[in-house]
């Protein structure tokens, strides 16, 4: 793109486009980076820079960029039947096929999909339908959801309330009533010298304490991301999720796994709940279901919940115009075909995850890195002032992370920064050679960042 066009677009962007999760005044002054093309694990910007996208867009481009088959699937479906809804006792073929395929892929008896446009709407959906599930069984007071401080479940009123991001709660009067939070499992910041598995049990038992405080007859569900992504890839010890599951079963509290990031291969398993070995009653998905090529989300219910909703729920007063959109469903089906037929999840688990873990651990040797944690293809480097002092952070948390992210960009590498943690989530199709490139660029960025800090 020529310089004049780029400047013109940046001017229009500053004048007319409010960016999500951005300081829009600061962005307008700086000028937006405009992305123009993608291929495999790389994207190009309008100035012609080639960038290794080690964040897969926003945790979502699992099959990599530029797969024409998904565009073909969308075009074919648009030409055949661009739209029809699932409201008026009807639906479309790709929608049905996708619901059946999700039932096949998801673990246990998670057999019933309610489609949305996004992960946030999927989490809104479960808040309403799970409360309805208890209400129609004469337990209308069993309506409290428990989430985790610093959890992320999206940006709608319910999604942001279920999440525990303080900055989000400050805007718009959140959380909405009857949503409570417990502290998350964050071994680096919270476990001290404790044995990790013991710490995992302790962190899980915060749920039991909260249920007993509120009364089990009031608690409808617990929701959690198998690995908390946005806050900084908090990977719980192995003991955490089985203990959460035990507690949920004991008090008849529904267990909701938010698999919006972890689903569709991110951990090297199809779902994060399989990685940790627990069985959710309800699951929310989005992102990797279409590898981000088109918006789509879903709430998935097990036989028990869907059975009650069907038998006693009456007409569900819930749904989006685009619930089960046939074009989105057709693209999702093609994406799932590629993930399956090209053994992309297996590639991530067998060929990449162990190698990436080794190289990530090498980055952990850098003097700026207090912890290099990774699970499958999801990791974080926690940048600290003194790597010998665990749990200590830079003053004004976030500045060093932003600095390192910007330096990495100049080296042609996209990583995300949350506070001072550098987050990793590359396309699942990344090769070992590209992992080496990622390592070299990240190391250079860390070096330059350390030099800048003096």
* Position among 32, 86, 120, 335 found at the interface with ligand PLP (CB under 6 A): 120
Nearest CB to ligand PLP, comparing residues 227 and 374: 227
Q: Rule CB under 6 A: which of 284-323 touch ligand PLP?
A: 286, 297
Binding window for ligand PLP (CB under 6 A); candidates: 62-70, 137-145, 151-159, 205-213: 151-159
* Position among 204, 219, 260, 298 found at the interface with ligand PLP (CB under 6 A): 260
3-state secondary structure the chain: CCHHHHHHHHHHHHHHCCCCCCCHHHHHHHCCCCEEEEEECEEEECCCCEEEECCHHHHCCCCCECCHHHHHHHHHHHHHHCCCCCCCCCCCHHHHHHHHHHHHHCCCCEEEEEEECCHHHHHHHHHHHHHHHHHCCCCCCCCEEEEECCCCCCCCHHHHHHCCCHHHHHCCCCCCCCEEEECCCCHHHHCCCCCHHHHHHHHHHHHHHHHHHHCHHHEEEEEECCCECCCCCECCCCCHHHHHHHHHHHCCCEEEEECCCCCCCCCCCCCHHHHHCCCCCEEEECHHHCCCCCCCEEEEEEHHHHHHHHHHCCCCCCCCCCCCCHHHHHHHHHHHHHHHHCCHHHHHHHHHHHHHHHHHHHHCCCCCEEEEEEECCEEEEEECCCCCCCCCCCCCCCHHHHHHHHHHHHCCEECEEECCEEEECCCCCCCHHHHHHHHHHHHHHHHHHHHHHC
Site string for ligand PLP, 156-195 (x = CB under 6 A): ----------------------------------------
* Position among 258, 281, 334, 382 found at the interface with ligand PLP (CB under 6 A): 258
Nearest CB to ligand PLP, comparing residues 260 and 369: 260
Nearest CB to ligand PLP, comparing residues 298 and 381: 298
Q: How far is the CB of 154 from ligand PLP (least distance, A)?
A: 3
Nearest CB to ligand PLP, comparing residues 113 and 368: 113
119 part of the interface to ligand PLP, by CB under 6 A:
yes
Nearest CB to ligand PLP, comparing residues 60 and 144: 60
Nearest CB to ligand PLP, comparing residues 118 and 143: 118
* Position among 229, 263, 376, 401 found at the interface with ligand PLP (CB under 6 A): 229
Which residues are near ligand PLP by CB under 6 A?
118-120, 123, 152-155, 225, 229-230, 258, 260-261, 286, 297
């Amino acid at each position: 793109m020529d310089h004049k066009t780029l400047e013109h677009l940046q001017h229009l962007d500053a004048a007319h486009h409010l960016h999500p999760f951005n300081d829009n005044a600061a962005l307008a002054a700086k000028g937006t980076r405009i992305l123009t093309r993608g291929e495999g694990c790389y994207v190009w910007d309008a100035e012609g820079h080639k960038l290794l996208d080690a964040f897969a867009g926003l945790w979502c481009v699992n099959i990599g960029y530029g797969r024409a088959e998904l565009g073909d699937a969308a075009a074919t479906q648009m030409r055949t039947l661009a739209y029809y809804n699932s409201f008026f006792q009807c639906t479309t073929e790709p929608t049905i096929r996708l619901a059946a395929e999700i039932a096949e892929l998801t673990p246990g008896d998670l057999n019933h999909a309610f489609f949305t446009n996004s992960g946030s709407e999927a989490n809104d959906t479960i808040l309403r339908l799970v409360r309805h599930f208890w209400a129609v069984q004469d337990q209308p007071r069993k309506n409290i959801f428990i989430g985790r401080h610093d959890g992320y479940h999206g940006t709608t009123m319910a999604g942001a309330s279920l999440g525990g991001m303080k900055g989000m709660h400050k805007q718009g009067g959140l959380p909405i009533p009857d949503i409570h939070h417990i502290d998350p499992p964050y071994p680096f910041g919270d476990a001290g010298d404790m044995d990790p598995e013991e710490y995992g049990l302790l962190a899980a038992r915060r749920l039991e304490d909260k249920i007993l405080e509120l009364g089990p007859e009031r608690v409808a569900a617990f929701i959690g991301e198998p690995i908390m992504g946005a806050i900084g890839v908090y990977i719980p010890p192995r003991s955490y999720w089985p203990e959460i599951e035990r507690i949920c079963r004991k008090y008849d509290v529904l267990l909701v796994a938010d698999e919006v990031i972890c689903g569709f291969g991110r951990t090297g398993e199809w779902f994060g709940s399989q990685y940790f070995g627990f069985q959710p009653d309800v699951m929310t998905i989005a992102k990797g279901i279409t590898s981000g090529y088109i918006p789509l989300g879903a709430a998935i219910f097990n036989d028990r919940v869907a059975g009650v909703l069907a038998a006693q729920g009456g007409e569900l007063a819930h749904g989006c115009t685009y619930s089960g959109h046939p074009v989105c469903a057709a693209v999702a089906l093609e994406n799932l075909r590629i993930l399956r037929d090209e053994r992309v999840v297996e590639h991530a688990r067998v060929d990449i995850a162990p190698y990436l873990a080794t190289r990530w651990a090498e980055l952990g040797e850098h003097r700026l890195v207090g912890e290099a944690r990774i699970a499958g293809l999801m990791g974080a480097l926690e940048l600290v002032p003194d790597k010998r002092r665990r749990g200590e952070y830079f003053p004004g948390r976030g500045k060093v992370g932003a600095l390192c992210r910007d330096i990495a960009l100049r080296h042609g590498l996209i990583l995300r920064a949350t506070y001072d943690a550098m987050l990793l989530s590359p396309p699942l199709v990344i090769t070992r050679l590209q992992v080496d490139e990622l390592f070299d660029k990240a190391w250079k960025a860390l070096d330059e960042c350390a030099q800048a800090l003096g």
